[in-house]
Amino acid sequence: MTGAPSLLRRLARDLVIANLVGLVAIVGLTIHVLQHTIDNLEGQDLRDLAAEIAGHLTDGGGRPQLSLPPGMAARFSPTYGRYAYVILDDGGNALLSSANNTEPLVAFDPATAPVFFSFQARHQGSRLQGVTLKGNAAGHRIWVQVAEDMNHRDVLIDDIVGAFLPAAALWLAPVDVAFVAFVLLAMKLRLRPLQLASQQASRIGPHATGIRVPETGIPAEILPLVATVNTALAGLDHAFMAQKEFLEHAAHELQTPLAVLRTRVETTIDAELRRPLIDDIAIISRAVTQLLRVAELDGLVIQAAESVDIATLVRAVADYLAPVARQQGKAIAVTGANGLIVPGNTEALGQAINNLVENALFHTPAGTTVEIVLSAAPTPTVQVRDHGSGIAAHERSLIFQRFWRRDRKQGGGAGLGLSIVARAVELHHGRITVDDAPGGGALFTVTLPPSAPVRSHHDTEAAAGAG
């Protein structure tokens, strides 16, 4: 259906959106987990440092003294500037510090503070992350504060964010693109049976009821629907074939009684009444013959090896209808290329051309000529032109419908002639159009696909009937 959204495109769009959301979520979660893990590691490291500092405190005559090992002392060197500590008494006053600090790294109330807590604060222009640990030294309660300068270039989180995440993005992006491409390809392959089934289903029509939707490879969720559609199509095909057989048999059965009726009318009824009855019988016989043609065309299968010389066929039709044209004071003229070979069935195309010429003879006035023009380039075409009143634009899409007639009160046919033409042309993968002819009248153009090079292109002209 034109304008219907593509399932594959919708799935692809949903996949891309879900992938982008998932990617953002993964990156965000990764950063969060990394940050949380690093915070925990740094917090544990700072707590260990605070406990180790408390373990190196000694009594220095009623005042705590601190003697750190050289490696540990280097971590708190003012020149390094990454770590700092302050040792406070129970009143929150600074006793010892790594940088001669006279105040705590972060203010707190010793009376209500827990034994251990973490903190983040700004101190002398630095962004600190640290811990406060309660302890005892030289018989006195003390508080050890240890903090890390988060602006220092050696902080671990900066290294990870600055180096690991961009590096991870370099390999994560192509992996993600490859993943999306793989999923899209997988979806396309999985949907391929549905696309093939859709293409096959699009071929089903009034003249192709035997086609079924393939069930091979159809997903289990959709297979019952396909099976139901095929069952319905089988029922329609059966009904269509039954209707076609009925039409064909009925037409055959009517031919013999009509022939007997005509014979009896001609032999038993006086001449004054005979003529209109014979005309009525002729109209009925023509309708029966056309019904047979309709049934035959609906079941016709054109073989690949069949071909028709359209030029020869058109001239044969013109010769056949020439006496009819002369009787009506009209003429038929054929001009155009010889050796015009097209793939197709001679009988079906012959009937189509015959109906077109008969239709033109019916509408063209006495004293005029029905013109048939053959052309080879760019594709084989047959044009039939009359000099009648033409066909109104709003009726051009109706005249090829079965049983359509402009004036049903007017006799002459059942409205099947042009529908037979359209069906025959359709079977040959051709096209028929109708336009206004220059100077008045209708111009029917039949375009057919070529099958062989034209053997000659010289123009010839043949006339049949009185001119």
Q: What is the pLDDT of residue 294?
A: 64
Within a domain: 178 = no
CA 288, CA 303: separation in Å to the nearest integer?
27
CA 108, CA 175: separation in Å to the nearest integer?
50
The alpha carbon dihedral of 181, 184, 190, 194 has a sign of negative
Q: What is the pLDDT of residue 461?
A: 39
Residues pairing with 116 in the sheet: 133
Q: Residues 125-134: pLDDT tens digits?
A: 778 889 999 9
Per-residue three-class SS string for the chain: CCCCCCHHHHHHHHHHHHHHHHHHHHHHHHHHHHHHHHHHHHHHHHHHHHHHHHHCEEECCCCEEECCCHHHHHHCCCCCCCEEEEEEECCCCEEEECCCCCCCCCCCCCCCCCCEEEEEEEECCEEEEEEEEEEEECCEEEEEEEEEECCCCCCHHHHHHHHHHHHHHHHHHHHHHHHHHHHHHHHHHHHHHHHHHHHHHHCCCCCCCCCCCCCCCCCCCCHHHHHHHHHHHHHHHHHHHHHHHHHHHHHHHHHHHHHHHHHHHHHHCCHHHHHHHHHHHHHHHHHHHHHHHHHHHHCCCCCCCCEEEHHHHHHHHHHHHHHHHHHCCCEEEEEECCCCEEECCHHHHHHHHHHHHHHHHHHCCCCCEEEEEEECCCCCEEEEECCCCCCCHHHCCCCCCCCCCCCCCCCCCCCCHHHHHHHHHHHCCCEEEEEECCCCCEEEEEECCCCCCCCCCCCEEEEEECC
Within a domain: 95 = yes
- Are both 146 and 238 inside the same structural domain? no
Q: What is the pLDDT of residue 463?
A: 39
Within a domain: 207 = no
- Are both 102 and 247 inside the same structural domain? no
- Are both 271 and 307 inside the same structural domain? no
Q: What is the pLDDT of residue 132?
A: 92
Structural contact between residues 46 and 56, judged by C-beta atoms closer than 8 angstroms:
no
Structural contact between residues 344 and 448, judged by C-beta atoms closer than 8 angstroms:
yes
- Are both 149 and 62 inside the same structural domain? yes
- Are both 57 and 105 inside the same structural domain? yes
- Are both 320 and 445 inside the same structural domain? yes
Q: Residues 23-73: pLDDT tens digits?
A: 777 777 777 777 777 777 778 888 888 888 888 888 777 778 888 888 888
Q: What is the pLDDT of residue 243?
A: 65
- Are both 370 and 422 inside the same structural domain? yes
Domain total for the chain? 3
Q: What is the pLDDT of residue 454?
A: 37
- Are both 270 and 372 inside the same structural domain? no
Residues in the chain: 467
- Are both 259 and 381 inside the same structural domain? no
Within a domain: 274 = yes
- Are both 461 and 385 inside the same structural domain? yes
Query: Residue 17 sits in which domain range?
Result: 11-157
- Are both 248 and 367 inside the same structural domain? no
Q: What is the pLDDT of residue 369?
A: 92
Whole-Å CA distances, 414 to 282, 285, 312:
12, 11, 29
Averaged pLDDT in 10-residue chunks for the chain of 467 residues = 60 78 75 74 85 84 81 83 87 84 84 89 81 83 88 60 63 75 78 80 69 79 82 77 65 67 73 72 66 61 74 90 91 86 84 88 91 87 90 82 58 65 84 89 89 40 39
Residue 259: partners with Cβ closer than 8 Å, 6 or more residues away: 285
Residue where one domain finishes, among candidates 113, 139, 157: 157
Q: What is the pLDDT of residue 299?
A: 59
Within a domain: 203 = no
Per-residue three-class SS string for 413-435: CCCCHHHHHHHHHHHCCCEEEEE
Angle, in degrees to the nearest 10, between helices 310-327 and 346-363: 30
- Are both 339 and 255 inside the same structural domain? no
Percent of the chain with pLDDT over 70: 75
CATH of the domain at 54: 3.30.450
